[in-house]
Structures are given as C-alpha cells and as structure tokens.
C-alpha cells in the first residue's frame, strides 16, 4: 500500500517513518524545500526520530520526501498532519488545512482514504474539509473515504510513543473507519473506535482543555500558597497520597507548546458559535495568560525598577529537555521584561539560537536569574550568589 503524508513536522515525520518501517511505501509532502532536502539527506529535525531511522527507510525505498503534491497521484491513502495554529487574533487558523485540502482534491483518486490528524474544532472534518475535497475533485462523497484520527504525540516522552499510545479513529462511514483501523493497526498497538467524527474531534480538545483547566487552577493555588507562606509542592504531594480521584498538576510560568494553549481555544471558539459558553475554559485561559505578568511583578518586588537590570532567563523551550519554543511562556516573559527596560539574557543550550541571539553561559554576572524551564544538567551552581526565582515545576 502506498500512502502520502502531508506535513513532515513533529506529527507527520514520526508517522511517516513508523508507517514505512511497517512496510508501507510512504511519500511525505512538505512545502518547506529546505526541510524536504534535509529529510531526504537522512537528517531528522524531530525529537524521537533518529537520522538512521530516516536513512534506512530511504535506502529501502519505503520513504521519500517531496514538496510536489503530484507525487501523490497514485497513493491509496493520504494523511493530513498540517499545523492548525491560532492567528494573531487568537482565533483558529485553518489556512494550512484549506490549502492542503485544495491540493489533495486535484490529485486524489477514486477509492482514496483521506485521514485528518490535525487538531480542529467539532464539525470541521464534515463541514469544512469534506466540501473542499468534493468541490475540487470529480468525486462524490461515496467515492472516497474520510476519517478523523487526532494525533497524540508528546515530544520527548520515552514511555508513551506512537506505537503504544492508543489511537482514536472515527470515520464519516463505518467502511472508512474500518479501512483506517486496518492502516494504523500495522504500527500502532491499540485502536479506539469512535461512533462519530464529532466525538473524536471533541475528545481531542477535551484532553488538553482538561490539562489547561487543572494547570491554571494549581497556578492560582500556588499564588495563594505564596501569600500564605505555604510550600505548594508539599500541598500537592500530600494531596497526591489520596489513592483515587486526584491527579497531580504543578504550577509554572504558564503552559506552552502546540496543544494545551491552543486546543482549548478551538473548543471555546465552537462553543461561542453555538451560544453555549464554556466559562471554565475562558477563565483558565485568562489565568494562564496572566502568569507572565505575575512573575514580572514578583521580579519587580525583588529588584525594584527594572531599567538597566541584568536578568538571566534559564530555559526558553516550553518543556524540559525538548528544543520546541512554540507558545513558550519564557519568551513572553523575556519580551515583557525587555519592555520595562531590563537587559535580558537567556540560557538554553538545547534551543541554542533564537531570534538572532544565542544561548549564554550560566554565570554570576546578573542581578537576578529566573528558572523558567528546568532542563537536565543545568549548572545552577555557576550562578554563585545571584538570587534564583524558580518558575519551573515549583512553588511560586
């Protein structure tokens, strides 16, 4: 079976290599020419995918990357894993999905299986993607199969991988769902069938909305504990001794990454369109977005006027031990501190280079250091007597 995968990012590349390793012939499509060239040279840009994993599949003839959609003219299955971010107004941006769908509609063949893995709000697969595919092709709804199967990739997680993380699958028809289950079952251990596409779309958003709400709640609790001079981590650890009904979440500078800050907004956007408010999500977004300002106030309390103060931000990726800076609260903190006149430096050897600047060594030449993301192996002792404000999984 020959398949195509649209988008070779943190979702598409692991999926492409896993499918190729299981025996499928895979064509990966990405519009980034430099990325395609690098991948075809056996270079990985995704945590968890090794260079040799790519090279082995290229040598075997099971995988090839391209930026030309015409390479998909004879595939039996196309998986869409393009970004669905928020725009500058914090509204869902489906432009990448729309562009991919229009291109796919021009080349897909009768009987093709189309699978959407990108995160979308409920109703998008049926009401947005399906019409685009039909409008651009000569096929009617019964002549191809459409499926929604949301990605569950956690970069850097060595315990839960693509293979052992349960895979949600929902089809526009039962026949479409059965075909997708057969496709995924070759390289994923557990498949979870959904009765409708809308259930699967909503479940994906629930997963990360649940995390946003709980993290935002514990961030508020941490502020309360700081005012009461209580160690919030001790509170959480004690509460976690309850063997049922409790799950530990920890305070931080604010959630980041590709999922938790974004997915709930898709659910919130849909709720507003049907006039059914989700007030807990709205409040959680406000709490999360306010954490950077809270820490700026804490820093101001410690240093006074920030004009000319030298501050070191340690860790600018959104989570420990990964180089991903998407929606990173550390970056928002740096920008806000700079807007108040502080001279801000950053240390993150995993990221290395950001915004035209480079990671600086940890040293004792700063007025204050803030630990934003706690990577393994940080040489915090090099701070000497510099005061360290810990904003990572720690008390606030």
What is the spatial distance between Cα 259 and Cα 329, in angstroms, rounded to a whole number? 14
What is the spatial distance between Cα 275 and Cα 278, in angstroms, rounded to a whole number? 10
Q: Buried b / exposed e across 7-21, counting CB within 10 Å, b at 16+?
A: bbbbbbbbbbbbbbb
What is the spatial distance between Cα 367 and Cα 355, in angstroms, rounded to a whole number? 23
Q: What is the pLDDT of residue 395?
A: 44
pLDDT of residue 239 exceeding 70, the answer is yes
Q: Say whether domain 196-396 belongs to CATH 3.40.50.720.
A: yes
pLDDT of residue 385 exceeding 90, the answer is yes
Candidates 77, 112, 225, 259; catalytic one = 259
pLDDT of residue 67 exceeding 60, the answer is yes
pLDDT digits (tens, 9 = 90+) for 205-235: 999 999 999 999 999 999 999 999 999 999 9
Is 225 designated active site? Answer: no
For strands 353-354 and 388-390, give the pairing. unpaired
Alpha helices of the chain — where are they, by DSSP H? 12-21, 33-40, 51-60, 95-107, 124, 130-136, 174-184, 197-228, 232-239, 263-273, 279-303, 329-339
**Of all helices (H) and strands (E), which one includes residue 32?**
none
The residue ranges of every structural domain in the chain are 2-195, 196-396
The model's confidence at residue 393, banded by pLDDT at 50, 70 and 90, is: low
pLDDT digits (tens, 9 = 90+) for 323-373: 999 999 999 999 999 999 999 999 999 999 999 999 999 999 999 999 999
Q: Say whether domain 2-195 belongs to CATH 3.40.50.720.
A: yes
Which DSSP state fits 126? I
pTM of the model: 0.92
Which DSSP state fits 108? P
What is the spatial distance between Cα 320 and Cα 156, in angstroms, rounded to a whole number? 9
pLDDT digits (tens, 9 = 90+) for 265-296: 999 999 999 999 999 999 999 999 999 999 99
Q: Do domains 2-195 and 196-396 have the same CATH topology?
A: yes
């Amino acid at each position: 079976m020959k398949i195509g995968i649209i988008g070779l990012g943190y979702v598409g590349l692991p999926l492409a290599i896993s499918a190729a390793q299981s025996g499928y012939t895979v064509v990966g499509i990405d519009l980034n020419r430099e990325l395609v060239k690098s991948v075809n040279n056996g270079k990985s840009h995704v945590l968890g995918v090794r260079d040799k994993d790519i090279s082995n599949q290229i040598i075997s003839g099971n995988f090839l990357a391209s930026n030309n959609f015409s390479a998909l003219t004879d595939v039996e299955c196309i998986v869409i894993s393009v970004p669905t971010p928020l725009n500058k107004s914090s509204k869902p941006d489906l432009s990448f999905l729309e562009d991919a769908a229009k291109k796919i509609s021009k080349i897909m063949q009768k009987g093709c299986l189309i699978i959407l893995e990108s995160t979308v709000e409920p109703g998008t697969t049926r009401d947005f993607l399906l019409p685009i595919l039909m409008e651009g092709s000569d096929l009617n709804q019964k002549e191809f199969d459409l499926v929604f199967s949301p990605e569950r990739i956690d970069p850097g997680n060595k315990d839960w991988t693509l293979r052992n993380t349960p895979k949600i699958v929902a089809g526009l028809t039962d026949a479409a769902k059965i075909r997708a289950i057969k496709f995924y079952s070759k390289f994923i251990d557990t498949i979870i069938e959904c009765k409708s596409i809308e259930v699967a779309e909503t479940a994906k958003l629930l997963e990360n909305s649940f995390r946003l709400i709980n993290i935002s709640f514990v961030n508020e609790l941490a502020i309360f504990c700081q005012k009461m001079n209580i160690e919030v981590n001790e509170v959480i650890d004690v509460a976690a001794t309850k063997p049922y009904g409790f799950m530990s979440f920890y305070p931080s500078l604010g959630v980041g990454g590709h999922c938790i800050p974004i997915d709930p907004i898709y659910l919130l956007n849909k709720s507003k369109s049907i006039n059914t408010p989700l007030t807990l999500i709205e409040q959680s977004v406000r709490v999360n977005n306010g954490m950077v300002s809270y820490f700026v106030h804490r820093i101001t309390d410690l240093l006074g006027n920030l004009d000319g103060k030298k501050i070191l931000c340690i860790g600018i990726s959104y989570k420990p031990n990964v180089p991903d800076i998407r929606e990173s609260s550390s970056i928002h903190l740096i920008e806000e501190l700079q807007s108040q006149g502080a001279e801000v430096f950053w240390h993150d050897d995993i990221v290395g280079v950001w915004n035209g600047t480079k990671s600086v060594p940890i040293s004792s030449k700063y007025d204050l250091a803030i630990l934003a993301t706690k990577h393994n192996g940080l040489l915090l002792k090099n701070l000497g007597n510099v005061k360290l404000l810990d904003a990572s999984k720690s008390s606030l």
